[in-house]
Chain A
């Protein structure tokens, strides 16, 4: 199934695994180099990923298909395969106790099943303009708490860079709200043309993301007034990436973003000024893609 998903997005599975491995190692090294809490964030990430495999409906389906013993074997194998990259990296870092703990927890998690989605309705400040931030906030609200906590830590340890990281974490989270194309009904329903539709999406995204980032930016600006220009620059880059992800999404619509958009966005991380050209180009392309659904 994973191979099919890679093929659908235009990736050769072998190449995709290679890119993922390099990305995983790179991000892990970066994480451990940047914070002393790297080990805990790393473990938590591994357990979150593994926990997704214990989702009730998924386990129920496996229960129907396999006997009890076979089911347990499959679940333990799945969890260990999933935790393997994390285990290898922990061993490489000579964090043997953490590796052992992860191994044990991954095995125990295989014997449990739980709902990864909560049944109660999580409050969101974005109810009036559904749907991206409304649903996105409910999926990722804990990351905003983490970002605000990081900001407080940044101030207490006098680390401007950590504060900027917290700000970018919020922006990166909001970018993920635009990663998947919505059902065509939710585009078709709009009684505006493609250009107005795109501007409205961008306006909402900028307004809502700003409302989430602004508390961090204000706190950092108060404590580091000398860095206010750098801070504003990061703010602008955050907005630019948000706009570029929106127009990337609709430039491939109704398909998912493909390898071309991925490469273009990756290029922009390396060299952000490319966004000045890329955004208008993708905006035009999005207008064309949406013109069938929006008149």
Chain B
């Protein structure tokens, strides 16, 4: 369980998160949606303890960062480190002894090649594999489906279902609504640093319609396409 109470975050005078209150229970998948700059990544960084913030974030087990698998939107890789060594590094970081990395390479990645030479999708799959092998309790997946091929998207969806079964707490952000509706139990809409709407699975399609109307409005007509 992760409980966020009165969370606010400012960069100078710019308040990115405004008094956020939310609870993430185990065995549930939470989707966070919002436009670019809405504060999703900052929220994730605060939960991961990568940022200072006002308010309180508590978890059980604690500290959250030692039990959290964090998949960044654009994972960073060293220039001359292979896929296998990247996984080894992240397992070492959590004191996980691992000897069968090749057997657990479910995305068929070329693990003996330098990770920096991987495509965007392969990098994402490598980063995801590494955090899955860390035996985490919590997962924050910032746009896990971006740049990933359709076959791997199917696998990632199934992985999320499996993690739910295993009673893990999963928070996902995605700009592709269908990926969230396939995986999430709840979706929370973040706008200008505040949650403005939270919906349960039954109301996902209504939320999607509402978001479409809100987002598109008469913007396409304004283009004056001929």
The stretch from B79-87, B152-160, B178-186, B188-196 touching chain A is B79-87
Please indicate the chain A residues that have their CB under 8 angstroms from the CB of B72 in the complex: 185
Please indicate the chain B residues that have their CB under 8 angstroms from the CB of A182 in the complex: 78
Instruction: Give, as a whole number of angstroms, the nearest-CB distance from B8 to chain A.
Output: 18
Interface residues in B, total, Cβ within 8 A: 31
Q: Does chain B have a CB within 8 A of A293?
A: yes
Q: Complex: how many Å from CA A134 to CA B80?
A: 8
- B84, closest chain A residue (CB): A127
The answer to whether A183 and B76 touch (CB under 8 A), given A121-B82, A130-B81, A191-B66, is yes
Please indicate the chain B residues that have their CB under 8 angstroms from the CB of A293 in the complex: 49-50
Instruction: Give, as a whole number of angstroms, the nearest-CB distance from A285 to chain B.
Output: 19
Interface string of B46-82 (1 = CB under 8 A from A): 0011101000000000010111001010011011111
Q: Does chain A have a CB within 8 A of B93?
A: yes
Interface string of A182-201 (1 = CB under 8 A from B): 11111011111000000000
Interface string of B30-53 (1 = CB under 8 A from A): 000000000000000000111010
The answer to whether A189 and B80 touch (CB under 8 A), given A121-B113, A134-B85, A292-B52, is no
Contact present for B81 and A295 (CB under 8 Å): no
Q: Does chain B have a CB within 8 A of A145?
A: no
Please indicate the chain A residues that have their CB under 8 angstroms from the CB of B80 in the complex: 117, 122, 134-135, 138-139
Q: Complex: how many Å from CA A134 to CA B89?
A: 10
Q: Complex: how many Å from CA A73 to CA B120?
A: 36
Please indicate the chain B residues that have their CB under 8 angstroms from the CB of A224 in the complex: none
Q: Complex: how many Å from CA A139 to CA B75?
A: 22
Q: Does chain A have a CB within 8 A of B6?
A: no
Q: Does chain A have a CB within 8 A of B117?
A: yes
Q: Complex: how many Å from CA A138 to CA B135?
A: 30
Q: Complex: how many Å from CA A186 to CA B90?
A: 8
The interface centre, meaning the residue of A119, A189, A293 with most chain B CB atoms within 10 A of its CB, is A189
Q: Complex: how many Å from CA A188 to CA B69?
A: 11
Instruction: Give, as a whole number of angstroms, the nearest-CB distance from B178 to chain A.
Output: 29
Contact present for B52 and A295 (CB under 8 Å): no
Docked complex: A159-218 residues within 8 A CB-CB of B: 182-186, 188-192
Contact present for A121 and B52 (CB under 8 Å): no
Q: Does chain B have a CB within 8 A of A129?
A: yes
The answer to whether A130 and B66 touch (CB under 8 A), given A184-B50, A188-B48, is no
Please indicate the chain A residues that have their CB under 8 angstroms from the CB of B66 in the complex: 191, 295
Instruction: Give, as a whole number of angstroms, the nearest-CB distance from B134 to chain A.
Output: 8
Contact present for B49 and A295 (CB under 8 Å): yes
Contact present for A131 and B94 (CB under 8 Å): no
Interface string of A108-129 (1 = CB under 8 A from B): 0000000001010110000111
Q: Complex: how many Å from CA A235 to CA B189?
A: 60
Please indicate the chain B residues that have their CB under 8 angstroms from the CB of A119 in the complex: 117
A/B interface sample: 12 pairs, CB < 8 A: A117-B80, A121-B114, A129-B88, A129-B92, A130-B85, A130-B88, A185-B76, A188-B65, A189-B93, A189-B94, A191-B67, A191-B94
12 further A-B contacts with Cβ under 8 Å, apart from A185-B75, A191-B95, A295-B65, are A121-B113, A127-B85, A130-B89, A135-B80, A186-B93, A188-B49, A188-B70, A189-B90, A189-B93, A190-B94, A191-B65, A293-B49
B contact set with A: CB distance below 8 Å = 48-50, 52, 63, 65-67, 70, 72, 75-76, 78-82, 84-86, 88-90, 92-95, 112-114, 117
